[in-house]
Structure 1
Amino acid sequence: MSFAGQPKPTVRQEGDAAPLRQAAPRTHDWRRGMQTVRVLPGEAYVTARAEEIIVTVLGSCVAACIRNPATGFGGLNHFMLPESDSGMWNGASAALRYGNYAMEVLINEVLKSGCERRDLEIKLFGGADLTDGPTLIGSSNVSFVLDYLNAEGLAIASADLGGCYGRRIHYNPSTGVVHRLLLGTATHPEFVDEEHSFKDRLARTKVEGEVDLF
């Protein structure tokens, strides 16, 4: 987890609540006039900066956009698999690939900003099934995150889940606005790669359709 606009936290050790990625890559979005931070699979990021947009690209992965609407502090996670019940995370960065850990980390970080659980604004994206087969990872990720939030008694403000298309997400926690763009065609062979290579291919894939706001 990376933090912006706050004092730099102490790096946790393996097994603690929130791993940190100390240096998030930033670029400038000249069209929007804002800084952008890219979140890759197995990562998460939170910010208090009003001029910062968090960007991620999703295939079968799911991203949760969670913020404190009273302050605009919030962030985004990007998880690859529903959950690990082994209790062995194999290091902080590996842990965030799992939905149960990624959701816990992000929710707890936003709650630390002074937000009550009932006030969390939560938006969900991703979970596409890019190929046919006995194991539909996208559907599994969608089922997990919906069941997780239901079990935690947390409401979903909006969601765009499932289907067969990749998505590019631009999230501004200060406003809560999410721009979602559909990407490419799921039938092209390049979309059957594992998610860690899929993210780079999607970033170069033609955008299809209009930008939707959530």
Structure 2
Amino acid sequence: MQVIHVVQGEHAIHDHPDVVLTTVLGSCVSACIMDLDRGIGGMNHFLLPDAGPGGPDIRHAAAAMEVLVNGLMRRGAARGRLRAKLFGGARMMAGLPDIGQRNADAARRFLQDEGIPLIASDLCGTQARRIRFWPVVGRVQVHLLGEARIAVREQPKRHPAGDVELF
């Protein structure tokens, strides 16, 4: 198995069945977008919800999402078959602006505006996450990292070890 780590401001696209894409997220968000009929998928990792005065930058939600979608289509994915899963957006520090929530909202808004169905997500809360994504089959494994720092109102259902499998 080949593991490709996607860091902040980057993305990766693959169509080989032995590849897994990984990342670690705090307030950042990753979109895992795939065309399962074509057997291709990709992951991005963005830091901020809005572009700054310098214009589009792949560290920001809209640019990162656009680059991923366009890259998938250049490699043979069909726009109408794209499906998305979103992860991250944690509130890592109480008392500071909730960038994680804003990142999550920006990613959801992009998908809605582009007509790409969101089929699974694990967003917000207070814990960092390690994501593993098998792009050819669309499988995602989420592992929570560390302890919660502020109260969480709602928790998704998890396996006893803190992992979530999203197929």
Q: Normalization by structure 1: what TM-score?
A: 0.69
**Aligned pair 1:66/2:28, yes or no?**
no
CA-to-aligned-CA distance 1:127-167 (integer Å, 9 cap, x gap): 00011225111011011111111122221011110100100
What corresponds to 1:109 in structure 2? 71
Cα drift, residue 115 of structure 1: 2.7
Match for 2:89 among 127, 143, 164? 127
What corresponds to 2:155 in structure 1? none
Q: In the alignment, residue 49 of structure 1 is paired with which amino acid?
A: H
Cα drift, residue 87 of structure 1: 5.1
Q: In the alignment, residue 42 of structure 1 is paired with which amino acid?
A: G
Match for 1:55 among 18, 22, 25? 22
What corresponds to 1:211 in structure 2? 163
Match for 1:173 among 128, 135, 145? 135
What corresponds to 1:82 in structure 2? 49
Cα drift, residue 59 of structure 1: 0.2
Provide the rounded CA distance (Å) in 1 between the counterparts of 2:53 and 2:4: 31
Q: How many residues align?
A: 157
Provide the rounded CA distance (Å) in 1 between the counterparts of 2:109 and 2:69: 15
Where does structure 2 lack aligned partners over 5 or more consecutive residues? 151-159
What corresponds to 2:5 in structure 1? 38
Q: Which structure's CA Rg is the greater one?
A: 1
Residue aligned with 2:93, SS: coil
Q: In the alignment, residue 210 of structure 1 is paired with which amino acid?
A: G
Provide the rounded CA distance (Å) in 1 between the counterparts of 2:8 and 2:84: 19
Residues 1:108 and 1:140: Cα distance change in structure 2 (over 3 Å) = same
Q: In the alignment, residue 163 of structure 2 is paired with which amino acid?
A: V
Q: In the alignment, residue 36 of structure 1 is paired with which amino acid?
A: V
Q: Normalization by structure 2: what TM-score?
A: 0.87
Cα drift, residue 186 of structure 1: 4.0
Provide the rounded CA distance (Å) in 1 between the counterparts of 2:113 and 2:101: 18
What corresponds to 1:182 in structure 2? 144
Provide the rounded CA distance (Å) in 2 between the counterparts of 1:171 and 1:154: 18
Q: How does 1:147-162 map to 2 (within 5 A)?
A: 147-162=109-124
Provide the rounded CA distance (Å) in 1 between the counterparts of 2:72 and 2:34: 6
Moved more, 175-184 or 142-151: 142-151
The answer (yes or no) to whether the contact 1:111–1:117 under 8 Å persists in 2 is: yes
Pick 1 or 2: higher relative contact order, CA cutoff 8 A, min separation 6.
2
Which runs of at least 4 in structure 1 moved beyond 3 Å after TM superposition?
85-89
How large is the RMSD of aligned CA atoms in angstroms? 1.8
Provide the rounded CA distance (Å) in 2 between the counterparts of 1:113 and 1:42: 20
Cα drift, residue 113 of structure 1: 2.8
Cα drift, residue 116 of structure 1: 2.6
